[in-house]
Copies of this chain bind each other. A is one copy, B any other.
């Protein structure tokens, strides 16, 4: 965690895979501050008495673009040198990162080139367009996405911003826990969902630097448990082909996110689909919050009994709230 080197790196060498230091996270927070919301932390008497603990929910569903992803994308885009930024930024994503990068680029006044699978939901395509993103459609395979992205980059010179395998993105996502720890000190546990590991690795760094007694736990759907298996085996495991309502969590860890998670995360636990839906519904009904399935995986793990939270102070990161209101999981 050499601050000096990292602080140079954060502005100049995005392709190098360094681990964000506390200073990088603090600088990220300062950098993105005026462009993202400081989201509130909410509590629920009902849920506290249901689980006999004190839950503090960090509401990133209220964040701009409806998810925490704007933090990492904004930090990456604002970290670029003028020369790097000039030709714009690019990524392939059908999810929240696409909207996040489009909005971040718009904020900086540069183009965002987004490669999206041709079967992306219309509402997501419209959202990216709404933020001024320039979309290239491709076949819905990882190979086609990467090929299309490469072509876009060759044509435009745009700078690639990966959804999580990027220290600037991780430093941005780490600001969620930085704020949570600031608002709710002495947490025993912080829980975050894990897909590619950008949020979980950032969360674990902020906790390690700012609240080292707090244990960070990752939560993952059982049906796409590659992070769980990576953690157990000590090696990054490939993604499974499993289906989950928490579709934002299907991606695999990168070597970078895994190296951080391995060092700073206490455990990764999994939960069944039924409990993800039940937890999501519980948050909607009792807390009156619209959250997406991925954001409910943490509470689902508690519901499933996989983590003893009795008498504990538990911070839960509600990662986002982007759902299709015409197709809710309990209606399928």
Residues of chain A at the chain B interface (Cβ within 8 Å): 40, 42, 45, 59, 61-62, 64, 66, 281, 284-285, 287-291, 321, 325-326, 328, 330-331
Chain B residues near A284 (CB-CB < 8 A): 290, 325
Q: Which residue on B lies nearest to A318, using beta carbons?
A: B288
Cβ B325 vs Cβ A325 within 8 A: no
Cβ B281 vs Cβ A66 within 8 A: no
Copies of this chain in the oligomer? 2
- Specify which of B42, B64, B290 is in contact with A62 (CB 8 Å cutoff): B42
For the complex, give the distance between the alpha carbons of A191 and B40 in Å: 24
Chain B residues near A61 (CB-CB < 8 A): 288
Cβ B328 vs Cβ A325 within 8 A: yes
Cβ A288 vs Cβ B66 within 8 A: yes
For the complex, give the distance between the alpha carbons of A240 and B328 in Å: 34
Q: Which residue on B lies nearest to A324, using beta carbons?
A: B285
Q: Which of A285, A288, A289, A331: most chain B Cβ within 10 A?
A: A288
Q: Which residue on B lies nearest to A283, using beta carbons?
A: B290
For the complex, give the distance between the alpha carbons of A66 and B45 in Å: 12
Chain B residues near A289 (CB-CB < 8 A): 288-290
A9 to chain B, nearest CB (A): 32
Q: Which residue on B lies nearest to A292, using beta carbons?
A: B288
For the complex, give the distance between the alpha carbons of A7 and B291 in Å: 45
Chain B residues near A42 (CB-CB < 8 A): 40, 62
A316 to chain B, nearest CB (A): 15
19 A-B pairs, CB-CB below 8 angstroms? A40-B40, A42-B62, A45-B64, A61-B288, A62-B287, A62-B288, A281-B325, A284-B290, A285-B290, A285-B325, A288-B290, A288-B291, A288-B321, A289-B289, A290-B290, A325-B330, A326-B330, A326-B331, A328-B328
